[in-house]
Each structure stands twice: as structure tokens, then as C-alpha cells.
Chain A
């Protein structure tokens, strides 16, 4: 997964190889490696935060239940707005 730049202090890397069959599971794996990171991406009601965006193979994804395959490329970016 490509990591959004504000979250790279957690991962220490631009990209992280993650395990999981869904976007949700990928984020669980990411949390296990980098404690605290998931809550900054997903709120306590399991909603993707307003300014976070996910793309799987270039297509936007808004559902944590979205399935992913081992060869899929997942990008996480932040949608900047305002000053």
C-alpha cells in the first residue's frame, strides 16, 4: 500500500506490503505494524475519515469491505482542502 505522506512518520516508508483479503484487513495489518495509525484513517464508527481516499488499481474505493487480491496495488492519499 502506498502510504499518504502525513502518515509516513508511523510507517517510516512510502510503501508497505500488507496482508489481507479486504481493505479493512489491510488496515488491521497496518495497525498491527504501526500502532495508532488506523484511528487516524478510520474513525470509531468504522467510517473512512473525510479527507482520506483509497484507490485500488487506480479506481477509487469508499468501502472498507472492498475485497483486494494479492496483486492489487492500493494507494492511500489525503484529499487536501483549505489553507
Chain B
């Protein structure tokens, strides 16, 4: 199905410091890719990342789980879509969303003989462009959990490696009726920039896993990760990594926001260290997303959610704040200037917190209540980009031009 792009809609006035921005060369423009429960939006930012122009909605009424721009060509957009009522698909655009074309073979499990336990993809949850030397190759993680790969820029998708049918992994992946209330999700598919055959992914639930041979063999990487009290950490089913990020400046360092804390792993080590223990006690270290600095592996940011008693998973005490570390997680600093002081009971999902690669680093997050926030100062101060959007599922940033 081809879908037309939507008219541009302005939400902010022109940048007041246009002269400054124009003098910089080469001029890159900033893009935020916002996926929501009712459609997608592109927000085009000026060079200073102070004002943003909204382009959307695209796919109004469709659930857009993730929207990604291919950094290798700077033009291919993939949108993981479903509706509440139709099956899942992937849409593809090469003209910044002016037109979209549907994948001719979206991710789907193989058909099994009658009587066997059958799976069908409910939605594609996560999209990752592959290695820079593999143009057109993408990975997708689905719910129920499955790993898929496209080698033609997202037009056709196939199950990747034997993972989806591996008996051990199938047990850890859980089925459609198991896992988290919104369904079990495969996420955080990470490609080592030094080696296209070295991949990681996370399963909520099911742990963190790694291959060093392009998917021929996979191994769990969960040592040191805690599970909910009363459960056995040796059983991978109980491990719930929410988001794993690799430091671009040091691919041997991973950070993880887990259902049970914030962690760091330095390879070739295999033991995660719970760096969230250094967070203030009353804030805790529960959350969904984590962002790493593009050039400094000692720096990362989290957005804590209330994980007490019945796990409200909202801003702690209704006072949203980002916490940043500058020493690999030994200490954390509260960063909340510009954010509401109270009565803001936000939830920010794992894909809805991201950063850019500019200097200083821009941070962005979207709430389930439809607010999009940005900081062009590495979290030191925050400003509202948009509100009244539908429930935000994912926010990604890109630089174009």
C-alpha cells in the first residue's frame, strides 16, 4: 500500500538566531522521528535545535512502534506499523515521508503444521540498521519475540539464523500470552561497528544475548543481572533487560537499563555491574530507556521511573528528572531544569528516550501522555517541543543534509 505524506504543520516560530546557525558549515539539520500509538511525526529542527517544525501525522490511526532513518544513506525511513485491527507491516520511504511503500514480505514466522505451537507476529517492535559495510541490511525484533533480517532495505524480511526455532530460546522468549502485559518484546539489537558478525539483543523478558559469528551461535550474557525478588536468576525467563546501548566511542562498553536496575558491562568481561546502586535511594534505578554519550564512554543518562510496591512506572513523586553520570555510573547528577516541578506522572518507554551526536549532545524523550521534550545542553535544561500528541512509543534522532 502506498500512503501519501501529510501536509506540514508548524508548531513553532522561526529560530531567533538564524544568522548564527547560517554561518556554520556544513549545515546539518536535526530530525526527530516520533512513533506513537496513533501515527508518526517527523520534527525538523534548526541547527541550534531550538525550534522544531512538525510534519505529521503520517499513518494517522496506525500504531507506529518504531521509526528509523538509515544513517548509511540518510534517506531510507522504515516504520514498524500495525493497527489495533489489522496485521503488522513495515512501511518504507526514501523521500522523507512524502510517500511510503509497504514491505512486500513483512516479518512473519514460518507456518507450522497443524497441532504444533504456532506463532504469528503481532508487531515489529524494534528496527536496527546493520553494519555500515552491509548497506540495505536491517534487523527487526518482534512481539512475540523473534529476530528477522532484511537484505534489501526493508522490502522483504526473513527469520534470521536459527534463533526463532531454537528450543532453548523459544522457552526463554515465551509465547504470545506470556511476558509483559503489552507482550514480550525483542529489542536493543546492536551491531558492533568493528564486526558485522558480532551482535547483541535484549529480550523482555529473556535476558541479553550475543553472537560473534553472525548468528550461527548465540549465548546469554546475564551474569550479574538481578531479577525480581523471589525468582531464580539462573532462569533466563526472569531476566528483563529494558534497554541496552553500546558506547559508540568504545564498543566494548555496554550500558543497560533493566527492570531491576542500571548496569554496565565492559567486554571482554561477562559480569554486569549494577551501577544504579549509586543512584539516590529515594529515586531508585528502575526505568526503561538509557542513552549513552556518542564520544565519551563514561557518560550516560537515564530517566528513572517509580519501581516501588505495585510498579507505577511513573516519574518518581510526580517530579520528572533525567539523571546523568560522568564517571561510568559511580555517581549520578539530577538534571531537571525546565521540567515540571510536580504533578507530572510521566511514563517514558524504552524507545522514547534518545540522544543525538551533536556538540553539546542533544537529549530527547517522549511521554505516554504525548509530550515531546528536548535538551540541547546534555540535559542541563529542558524545553517542550510538542504536547497533545498521542501516546509516544519511540523517539529517534538523526542529522540530515
Contact = CB atoms under 8 A, between A and B. Distances in A.
Nearest to A78: B85
Interface string A45-80: 111010110000000000000000000000000111
Nearest to A34: B1
B14 interface: no
A6 B82 CA distance: 11
B118 interface: yes
Nearest to A42: B87
Q: Give the residue among B87, B112, B118, B120 with the most A Cβ atoms within 10 A.
A: B87
User: How big is chain B's contact interface, by range?
Assistant: 20 to 34
Contact of B109 (A39, A44, A82): A44
A37 B83 CA distance: 13
B310 interface: no
Given A36-B102, A39-B106, A44 B120 contact: yes
B281 interface: no
A41 interface: yes
Contacts of B109: 44-45
SS of B interface (majority): loop
A51 B86 CA distance: 7
Nearest to A50: B85
A82 to B, nearest CB: 6
A39 B108 contact: yes
A44 B102 contact: no
Interface string B1-25: 1110000000000000000000000
A67 B247 CA distance: 58
A79 B84 CA distance: 10
A3 interface: no
A43 B87 contact: yes
B110 interface: yes
Contacts of B110: 44
Given A45-B111, A45-B112, A47-B120, A40 B86 contact: yes
Contacts of B102: 36
B89 interface: yes
B3 A41 contact: no
A6 B86 contact: yes
A74 to B, nearest CB: 18
> Which 7 A-B residue pairings sit nearest by Cβ, starting from the closest?
A43-B120, A51-B85, A44-B108, A45-B118, A40-B86, A40-B87, A78-B85
